[in-house]
Structure 1
Amino acid sequence: MVEITPLTPVFAARVTGLDIGRGVDAATMATLKDALDRHSVLVFPGQAIDDAAQVAFSEGFGPLERTRPGAPGAGSPVIILSNVGPDGGIEAPTAKQVLNNKANRLWHHDSSFKQLPARASLLSAREIPSAGGDTEFASMRAAFAALDPAEQAALKGRVAIHDFGWSRARVDAALVSEDERRQHPPVRQAMVLEENPYGPALYLGAHARSIEGMEEEAARILIDRLMAHATQPAFTYAHRWQRHDLVMWDNRAVLHRATPFATATERRHMVRTCVAGSAPTLAVAA
C-alpha cells in the first residue's frame, strides 16, 4: 500500500510502499499525480531502477522532453548529470559536463529557457559522493503566498525574459556555444503561474534575465529580491541523497539547485527525465 508522508510543514513528501520497477497501476498513478500537485516534491526511496524503468514510470505523468543538443543524452528522454566520463574515470574540472554541474548549483527551474518549459523532473541517484551533492528545493507557491496581497496583484500578468545563453555565460564563458545560443534564444515566461489547483507560484530562477516594461537595473533588483525571499529557509527542503533514491518535483512550483561536493575525487552519477509541459506559461497567466 502506498503511503505518502510529508517531509516539511510546507511542502515535499516521502512515498513508500511502491516498487517502480514493477510498474504502477492507473489508480496509484492518479494518487501520485495529486500528491505531486499538493506536495511539489516527492521522494521515492529504494528504487534500484535502470533508464528504461525510469522512462516508463516518467511517461505515466505525460510525454517526455528530449534532452537538448550539447548535453549528455542529447536526443533521448534521459539526461546524464555526472562527473564520470565515458572511460569510467572522473572528468577534469574544465570538462563541459562538470561545468554544467556547476551551473546546476544556481537556483533554477528545468527548461525555463524553452517556449514550453518542463512540467516535472525525475532524478535517480545511481552513484553518490560520501558528502555533499545534495539537492535543495524552494517552494514558489509558499513564497508567493507569503507576499503582501498588493505585491501579488502587481506581479500577476508580468512577463520575465528567460535567457539560456546569458545564464550559462554568467557561470563560465566556455559553457555556452554560439550554436547553443541560436538553438535557445530568449523566451517570454509568466512571472506568476496559476495552473496548480493548490495555489499560484512565482516563476523565476537563474535563467530569468529581465522583466518586460522595466529598466534593467530595476528589474534585476526585483528579481534578486524575490529570489532571496523565495529561497529563505522557511520555504526550502534539502534532500540528502541515498543511493537508489528517485526524487520527482513540479518544475512549475519549485526551484531547485545542487550543492557542491568534491568533484575532483568523488563520483556522482544521476539520471534525469523531464515531463513536458502541456501549455506555455503565458497561456495560464492571469
Structure 2
Amino acid sequence: MPTTTALHPLFAARVAGIDIGQPVSAADAAWLRDALDRWSVLVFAAPSITDDSQVAFSETFGTLETTRAGANGAGGKLIVLTNIGSNGQIAPPTDKQVLNNKANQIWHHDSSFKATPARASLLSAREIPQAGGDTEFASTRAAWQAMDPARRQRVQDRMAVHDFGWSRARVDPALMTAAERDAHPPVRRATVVAENPYGPALYLGAHARSIDGIPEAEGRVLIDGLNDFAGSGDFVYRHHWTAGDLVLWDNRAVMHRATPFASGAERRHMVRTTVECPPTVR
C-alpha cells in the first residue's frame, strides 16, 4: 500500500510504495489521484527513470500534452528543460533554451495560456548542479484560504487573460517568433479554480496579463500582489533535487518556479511530461 510523508505543514508529500518503472494498478492509480488532490505536490524516488517509463507513469493521470513548437522536444510527449546544447556542451546565455529556463524562474502555472490547460506536470531530474537549481512550489489553495475576504472579493467570479507572447516578451522580446505567438493567442481563465474536492485555489501566475472588468494598470498591480502573496514563505515548499527524483504537481492548485544556478558552469537536465485538463475541468 502506498504511503505519504508530509514535506510541508500545508501541502506536498513524499510517496513510498510506488514503483515508477512498473504498470500502476487500478487501485494505486485511484490512490494517486486522490493523493494529488489532497497534497498538490508528490515526490517520488525514481533512480532508474527513463523517457518511456516517465511517459507510461504520467499517462496514469490522463492524456499527455504534445510539446509546443519552439520548445525542446516539440511534437512529442516530453519537454526537455536543459542548459546542455546539441553538442553535449553547456549552452551560452543567449541560447533559446537557456532563456526559456530564465523565464521559468517566475511563478507560473504550466500551460495556463493554452486552449487546453494543464492538469498536472511531472518533472524528473536527470542531471543536477551542485548548488541551486531547486524548484519552489506555492500553494495557491492555501493562499486563497488565508486571503482577506475583501481581497478575495476583488477577483472572485472574474476571468483573467493569459497571454504567452506577452509573458515571454517580458523576459526577452526575441524569445518567441511571430509564428509561436500566433499559435498561442490569449485565452481567458477563471481567476479561481473550484473543482478540487479539497477547496478552491487562486489561478493567475506569470501568464496572467489582465483581469476582465478591471483597468489594465490596476489589474497588473492586483495580479502582481496576489502572485507575491501566494508565493510568500508560508505557502512555499522548496524542493532540493536529487538525481532520479520525480515530482508530480497539480497545476490547478500550485504555482511553481525554478531557482537560479550557475548555468554557465554547471549542467542541469530535466524532463517534463504534462497532463491535459479533461474537458470537465477547463
Query: TM-score w.r.t. structure 1 length?
Result: 0.96
| Residues 1:169 and 2:169 are matched in the alignment | yes
Please say if residues 137 and 254 of structure 2, whose CA atoms lie closer than 8 Å, have aligned partners that are also in contact: yes
Cα displacement (A) at 1:261 = 0.4
Rounded Cα–Cα distance in structure 2 between residues aligned with 1:117 and 1:229: 23
Amino acid of the residue matched to residue 12 of structure 1?
Answer: A
In the other structure, the counterpart of 1:247 is: 247
Measured on the aligned residues, the alpha-carbon RMSD in Å equals 1.2
Give the structure 1 partner of residue 3 of structure 2.
Answer: 3
1:43 aligns with 2:40: no
Deviations 1:7-32 (A, max 9, x none): 11100000012211122211111111
Look up the match of 2:122.
Answer: 122
Q: Residues 27, 280 of structure 1: CA spacing in aligned structure 2 closer, same or farther, 3 A cutoff? A: closer
Equivalent residues of 2:20, 2:46 under 8 A apart: no
CA contact (8 A) 1:194 1:200 kept: yes
1: CA distance, partners of 2:65 / 2:46: 25
* Structure 1, unaligned runs of 5 or more: none
Equivalent residue for 1:132? Answer: 132
Q: Distance in 1 between matches of 2:189 and 2:24?
A: 34
> Alpha-carbon deviation of 1:85?
1.2
Task: Please state how far the C-alpha of 1:153 moved relative to its aligned partner.
Answer: 4.0
What is the letter of the counterpart of residue 25 of structure 1? S
- The residue correspondences of 1:8-47 to structure 2 (distance < 5 A) are 8-47=8-47
Equivalent pair of 1:113/1:207 in contact (CA under 8 Å): yes
Contact 2:65 2:273 in 1 (8 A): yes
CA distance in 1, matches of 2:280, 2:178: 25
Q: Which residue of 1 aligns with 2:57?
A: 57
Q: What one-letter code is carried by the residue in structure 2 that aligns with 1:234?
A: D
Q: Which moved more, 1:271-280 or 1:91-100?
A: 271-280
Consecutive aligned runs of 4 or more in structure 1 exceeding 6 Å deviation: none
Tell me by how many angstroms 1:148 deviates.
2.3
Amino acid at match of 1:105: Q
Secondary structure of residue in 1 paired with 2:15: strand
Name the CA distance, whole Å, in 2 between partners of 1:104 and 1:225.
19
d(CA) in 2 for partners of 1:276, 1:34: 17
Q: Which runs of 5+ in 2 are unaligned?
A: none
Q: What is aligned with 1:107?
A: 107
Amino acid paired to 2:8 = T
Conserved in 2, the CA contact under 8 Å of 1:116 and 1:280? Answer: no
| Shift of residue 150, structure 1, vs aligned partner | 4.0
Equivalent AA in structure 2 for residue 158 of structure 1? R
The verdict on how the C-alpha distance between 1:154 and 1:216 changes in structure 2, with shifts beyond 3 A counting, is closer
How high is the TM-score relative to the length of structure 2?
0.97
CA distance in 2, matches of 1:157, 1:115: 20
CA deviation profile, 1:178-203 (whole Å, cap 9, x unmatched): 11111111111110000100000000
Tell me by how many angstroms 1:229 deviates. Answer: 0.9
Q: Distance in 1 between matches of 2:18 and 2:88?
A: 32
Q: How does 1:141-220 map to 2 (within 5 A)?
A: 141-220=141-220
- Look up the SS of the partner of 2:21 in the other structure: helix
